[in-house]
Amino acid sequence: MKSGTQISAETTDLRRFLSALISPFRVIRVLFSNQWLLIALLLCHLLLAAAFSLANPLGEAPDEADHWAYTVYLAQERSLPVGPTVTQSKHPPFYHASAALIAALFAEPSFDFLRANPDLRVPIPPGGPVNFFVHTAQESWPWRDGPLAFHLARLWSILLSLGTVVAVYGLTRSAFPAERGLALTVAGVLAFLPTFAFIGSAVSNDGAAAFFATTALWGAFAIYRSGGRLRAGWWTALALGLGLLTKVSVVAVWPSVALLVAAPFVARRAWHPFLTRQLALFVPAGLLAAPWFWRNWRLYGDPLGLELARQTIDQRLSPWTWADSWWLLKGWFLSFWGRYGAIGQIAQPLWLDWLLLALTLLSALGLARLLLRQRQGDVRFGVAILLLTIASVAAVMWRYSLVALGTDQGRLLYPALGPIVGLWVLGLTARPDRPDRCAEKIDLPVPFSLSAHLSGLALVGATALWSVAILAGLIFPAYSPARVLGFHPPATGVTPLDFGEIQLQAAELESSPLLYWTAAQPPTQDWRALLRISAEDGTLIWEWQRSPGQGRFATDRWPGGVVVRDLYAVQWPEWAGSGRYRVEVGVRSFAGAWALPSQAGQPAANPDHPFTQIGWIVYQK
């Protein structure tokens, strides 16, 4: 039997052994502290958001073209627009004015390089183009003029999204100080969330609304934790005011902020400091946004400018039903987690939607378990405030949905972005009343506290892989011209037509005409093809003008030797009868000048009729 001295000596030896085993981690402890890991996450998010910005063509995010039009107007006119002509002018101007200021520092903001794609159909048909605009060489590197200004505005959005990652870290750390590592996990999930990187890298006030709302909540929790000292969250009033001056829906976080600031005093029934703190926060915030609401009152008769908003939206004309509620909730969920493009027309695989739904249900169960088993009311209070914020934002957007269509977009919930992601992660990773004894005993840095943080690290890693997969497997292919390139023209009996910079090499004139265009040398202009179908007596039946290849690949970006497949879906009018119809083609530059073709070295058209017949099409009614 061992004596007490022997046991003590063996215990000392064991501690020395563990200390020697752990000592290599001491060297990298500082490198793996929360601050350095947060900086690493910010750098990763910066790279990810920049990649999304480069992969997503200009104007192809939700309402981005309209937000850019508002920005351009402010930059050019240096005044606020009046009336519904600039549709996004229904929003307060802080984000757009700051974007205009930054964009105008190095370029002249303009809108003329955004050229609508007439082949875009909603809903998108199978195999149809998803791009709302024809993206020409004006948007290629090196950027200049309008595209350069657009990218600078996107850079401003990316910087705001970086601020949102920092704010959600601060919010989570202040809301749940006892949850070790939770703040870093939430910041990591948000930093790699693909939809956030997509929206956060676009010209849109949604990302700015997320930043100011999350920052205001962070400040309010900091004030609450300090016992009501405003200095602890000195930025809160500024965030509230600028948020309201960015997007009106940010007002939905005001009740949560008010409750957090009031809580330390209500419990003590200290009404005087309660009142002074409320006034000190909300009066400056209201004064900051007051000029905008006063202007709306003078111009449109109400502070929110609802009459102007009604002129810029598709209004709901039917009563609200339970089916509308399902539509709204479903749209919020799907687009929050996995819809891209200008109208959410680029969707991630369905199995990912189901997986995210399962994780969301698991998170809800985890939150319920946490609240039921958690002995400390402090966690419950934090969860309650964040749930109140989500409910308030959802209620505001539901109220707006009673008036407007197209509100089933997750980005409209971005004033509650921090609470949504924070509670989602908390529900998936929380371990009620189970201290991390391993971490406490050996004093390992956060990443090595396996019992408490392994699920969080796995969640962040999975989110990062998800973003890379979305970027490489969904966004890049969606806007790739590969669908219309690489085809060899068949022998169709059509004599090639030379329009100068581009040539019609062949044509298949079936029920859906298919043209094959080539270019011996890289074209320098944005050319548009016009296909005409007319009766034998000359009556025009149908015509369509487009950028060859359904607008997927502008001609001034073609390399020499390219072959572009150009498929048309003829819309036959009801009055057209069965028979044979003439098919003609013409080519003009986007600026409007017609290119007169030659065929076998001979002129094939004239200025009075710049179209050349390429054959006949038979229509059976």
**What integer pLDDT is reported at residue 268 of this predicted model?**
80
Nearest to 479 by CA among 9, 130, 195: 130
Q: Cβ atoms within 10 A of the Cβ of 2, count?
A: 9
Would you call the peptide bond into 194 cis, given omega within 30 degrees of 0 as the criterion?
A: no
Ordered domains of the chain (ranges, CATH) = 34-131+146-478 (no CATH), 484-619 (2.60.40)
pLDDT of 123: 86
Rounded distance between C-alpha atoms, residue 583 and residue 511, angstroms: 12
Amino acid 8 reads: S
- Retrieve residue 358's tokens: 């399962």
Alpha-carbon distance of 620 to 578, in angstroms, equals: 5
Query: What pLDDT score does 432 carry?
Result: 55
Lookup: tokens for 57: 């063509």
Looking at residue 18, its pLDDT comes to 46
Q: What is the pLDDT of residue 2?
A: 52
Q: Closest Cα partner for 273 from 230, 332, 215, 238?
A: 230
**Per-residue pLDDT, 443:** 45
> For residues 423 and 466, what is the distance between their CA atoms, to the nearest angstrom?
20
User: 417-429 and 350-373 helices cross at what angle (nearest 10)?
Assistant: 70
Return the pLDDT at 407: 94
Buried b (16+ CB within 10 A) or exposed e, 182-207: bbbbbbbbbbbbbbbbbbbbbbbbbb
| pTM as predicted | 0.90
pLDDT, residue 434, reads 52
Chunked in runs of 10, what are the mean pLDDT values of the chain (621 residues)?
Answer: 54 51 43 77 97 96 96 95 93 97 94 93 88 95 95 98 97 90 94 98 97 98 94 96 97 96 86 87 95 94 90 91 96 97 95 97 92 77 96 96 94 98 92 52 42 76 97 94 80 82 91 92 95 93 95 94 92 92 94 87 84 92 81
